[in-house]
Amino acid sequence: MADQSSNRPKVDPDEILEGIKTWVDIESPSNDSEAVNRMVDQVETDYRAIGAEVDRTPGRDGFGDILSARTPWGGDEPGILVMSHSDTVHPIGMIEDILRWRREGDSVFGPGIYDMKSGAFMAYYAYRHLVRQGKQTPLPITFMFVPEEEVGSPTSQAAIEEAARRNKYVLVTEPAREGGKIVTGRRGSARFHITVNGVPAHSGLRHQDGRSAIKEMAQHILFIEGLTDYERNVTTNVGLISGGTGTNVVPSECTVEVDMRLPDMEAVEEFVEQVLNITNIDPDCTVTVKGGLNRPPYQKDQGISDLYEHAKGLAEEIGFDLQDMYTGGGSDGNFTAALGVPTLDGLGADGKGAHAHDEQIYFSSLEPRTQLWIRLFETLK
């Protein structure tokens, strides 16, 4: 298709970057509700300033607030849900040292800039761009910011699913992958907390009286890790372990945290149950398994394929080739896609280093990808 970008009002990438900096400067680690709510305050202020109708739900369980901002047109008509998260993985202080804001050539660094404050701001800027021109979109748009996506959205999942059911499409502001690809499929994830209780004893005087919780757990760890099946795209990871009270005490307790990634519901039913059904090997030890499926698999169905092809055509008009991909990491798009609502993910800025000390976006991606947001808002019906 011919490049029609010259027929549209220009977006200013420097203005976009300035706005992104405003949001990145507000560090917001998931487990610091006050910090997250400072970010939510800024988002609320920005959306109110352009006439959006804002609803804010107080946080619970130590997490920040959920914020929804909706266009003042469209009433209760099903529309577009734009999913973002206001939290990041980086602790307070990263921006002062390890991940200070800076631009080096095409790369711009900062905590949470790639995952995902740049994408969230780009969607906001696209809406503001239309408001400045006095335009309304064919469908109403709801912008939803959740406070704890990076830890699995435990307090916001129900709200996400409720919002998705009320809309025709979901667009997720997670970052682009591998040179600008968007995401049309993700593995599901399960999380488990496993505890073994044994019998303590003095390891020198009465070792025979003890029942080691660590020894028992070690056998279960080998079983869990052994469930990994690369051919089926199933991976299991015992990522955290703690136990014991001293080197001269037979340990009476051991706990582990397990992450499992699964490609489809068939794998969910097979592998999740194997972990949930773990029982003790030593009759004098007890094993307690808590957890289960955290995010369902996100699979590319016909609705997602059609939405992707629409976005791909818009990108061609703008002047770039939009490719899609399947990825292993989870997002809130898993929840919405599993409900059958057409979902496009990874629509944020291109870059690299999510969760790392070199997290960065590419300045050159801001203008074309923001134009894509504008065109999606203008054309989805």
Assign residue 311 the CATH number of its domain.
3.40.630.10
To the nearest 10 degrees (0 to 180), the angle between helices 33-49 and 118-132 is 20
Asked whether residue 30 falls in the same domain as residue 107, the answer is yes
Domain end marker among 255, 273, 295: 295
- DSSP, collapsed to helix, strand or coil, labels residue 80 as strand
* Predicted pLDDT of residue 8: 65
Asked whether residue 264 falls in the same domain as residue 284, the answer is yes
Q: Where are the alpha helices (DSSP H) in the chain?
A: 13-24, 33-49, 118-132, 157-165, 213-225, 265-267, 273-276, 302-318, 333-338, 366-379
Task: State how beta strands 107-109 and 102-104 pair.
Answer: antiparallel
Asked whether residue 287 falls in the same domain as residue 302, the answer is no
Backbone angles phi, psi at 324, to 5 degrees: -120, 170
* Mean pLDDT calculated for residue range 153-171: 98
Asked whether residue 308 falls in the same domain as residue 274, the answer is no
Q: How far is the CA of 136 from the CAs of 81, 133, 288, 336, 376, in angstroms?
A: 16, 9, 54, 25, 13
Question: For the stretch 218-244, what's the b/e string if a residue is b when 16 or more beta carbons lie within 10 angstroms of its beta carbon?
Answer: bebbeebeeeeeeeeebbbebeeeebb
Q: What is the spatial distance between Cα 63 and Cα 55, in angstroms, rounded to a whole number? A: 17
Q: Which two tokens stand for residue 154?
A: 């435990």
Q: What is the spatial distance between Cα 163 and Cα 280, in angstroms, rounded to a whole number? A: 42
Query: Into how many domains does the chain fold?
Result: 2
DSSP helix, strand, coil percent of the chain (3-state; round to 5): 35, 25, 35
Q: Grade residue 2 by pLDDT with cuts at 50, 70 and 90.
A: very low
pLDDT, tens digit, for every residue of 85-138? Answer: 999 999 999 999 999 999 999 999 999 999 999 999 999 999 999 999 999 999
- Given a cut of 80, whether residue 234 has pLDDT beyond it is yes
Domain end marker among 264, 295, 326: 295
pLDDT > 70: what percent of the chain?
A: 98
* Predicted pLDDT of residue 62: 97
* Predicted pLDDT of residue 151: 93
Asked whether residue 280 falls in the same domain as residue 309, the answer is no
* Mean pLDDT calculated for residue range 177-200: 97
* Predicted pLDDT of residue 329: 87
* Predicted pLDDT of residue 7: 59
Q: Give the mean pLDDT of the chain.
A: 96
* Mean pLDDT calculated for residue range 54-72: 98
Domain end marker among 262, 279, 295: 295
* Predicted pLDDT of residue 10: 87
* Predicted pLDDT of residue 57: 98
Query: Which one has a higher pLDDT value, 7 or 191?
Result: 191
Q: What is the spatial distance between Cα 31 and Cα 271, in angstroms, rounded to a whole number? A: 30
Q: What is the spatial distance between Cα 362 and Cα 103, in angstroms, rounded to a whole number? A: 9
Asked whether residue 121 falls in the same domain as residue 23, the answer is yes
Asked whether residue 240 falls in the same domain as residue 177, the answer is no
pLDDT, tens digit, for every residue of 32-53? Answer: 999 999 999 999 999 999 999 9
Whichever domain contains 206, its CATH number is 3.30.70.360
Greatest CA separation for the chain: 85
* Predicted pLDDT of residue 3: 45
Query: Structural domain of residue 375, as residue ranges?
Result: 5-187+298-379
pLDDT, tens digit, for every residue of 268-278? Answer: 999 999 999 99
| Position 308, amino acid | Y
The answer to whether 315 and 369 have CB atoms below 8 angstroms apart is no
Asked whether residue 288 falls in the same domain as residue 152, the answer is no
Asked whether residue 19 falls in the same domain as residue 84, the answer is yes
Asked whether residue 25 falls in the same domain as residue 128, the answer is yes
* Mean pLDDT calculated for residue range 322-344: 96
Q: Is the dihedral of CA 335, 341, 345, 347 positive or negative?
A: negative
Asked whether residue 194 falls in the same domain as residue 234, the answer is yes
Residues found in the chain:
381
Which residues are CB-contacts of 158 (< 8 A; sequence separation ≥ 6)? none
Closest-CA residue to 4 (of 299, 221, 216, 315): 315
Q: What is the spatial distance between Cα 305 and Cα 299, in angstroms, rounded to a whole number? A: 10
Asked whether residue 82 falls in the same domain as residue 210, the answer is no
